[in-house]
Amino acid sequence: MNGIRRIGVLAAAVLAATALTATPAAAGHHGPNPVVPWLEVVMAHQPTWIKVWWDTGTRICDAKVTVRAEHVGVTYPENTGSYTSFRRDSDLKPDRPDYTAFKVDADYNRNTMVPLEATLSYNTCGSAAVEKARTYWFLLPVLRDPDHHER
């Protein structure tokens, strides 16, 4: 219970810090951004699909997201293999939020918050498209699996 309480306190601190930062609209940024800065809780040693919802103020094309985190296995959808993209297609349009999905398998034996790095590569669409990439950081809450035993 103590570990779960610590995760709750850490998550609350992250949310409070997020609330104090400028929102993408307030900052004048019109490119792609995650809708929320947190991820769902996963159980250690249990592969779990994660969705990250995205929104944008300007259309982006050919989007690819790659994810990495220490001691976390990442698997992408079979149709893309080495990356994930949006559910509808590889473009993201203004006022049409969409999500990317990937599977994580956290190799931890304790309750913890794992920093997860997601890199979104895309272009600005059209004949004069410009290639861009941005890195986003998330916290992946991991709960210890009481049924998992070390070998």
DSSP letter, residue 26 = H
* Ranges of each domain in the chain: 2-143
Q: In the predicted model, what is the mean pLDDT of residues 24-41?
A: 77
Closest to 105 in 3D by CA, of 138, 146, 147, 76:
76
Of 8-12, 83-87, 141-145, the one with minimum mean pLDDT is 8-12
More confident: 9 or 91: 91
21 band by pLDDT with thresholds 50, 70 and 90: very low
Inform me whether the pLDDT recorded for 18 exceeds 90: no
What percent of the chain has pLDDT above 70?
A: 79
CATH class of 2-143: mainly beta
pLDDT digits (tens, 9 = 90+) for 68-116: 999 999 999 999 999 999 999 999 999 999 999 999 999 999 999 999 9
For 106-141, the DSSP string reads E--SS-EEEEEEEEEEEE--STT--EEEEEEEEEEE
Q: Strands 61-68, 48-55: parallel, antiparallel or unpaired by DSSP? A: unpaired
Q: Write down the pTM of the prediction.
A: 0.79
Of 20-24, 58-62, 121-125, the one with minimum mean pLDDT is 20-24
Q: How far apart are CA 36 and CA 118, in angstroms?
A: 14
Q: Report the helix count and the strand count for the chain, using DSSP H and E.
A: 2, 8
Give the per-residue pLDDT at 148: 74
Closest to 101 in 3D by CA, of 124, 78, 123, 121:
78
Give the per-residue pLDDT at 38: 86
Inform me whether the pLDDT recorded for 8 exceeds 90: no
User: CB-hemisphere CA count at 13 Å for 67?
Assistant: 29
Beta bridge partners of 75: 103
Q: List the structure tokens of 104.
A: 């994580």
Give the per-residue pLDDT at 114: 98
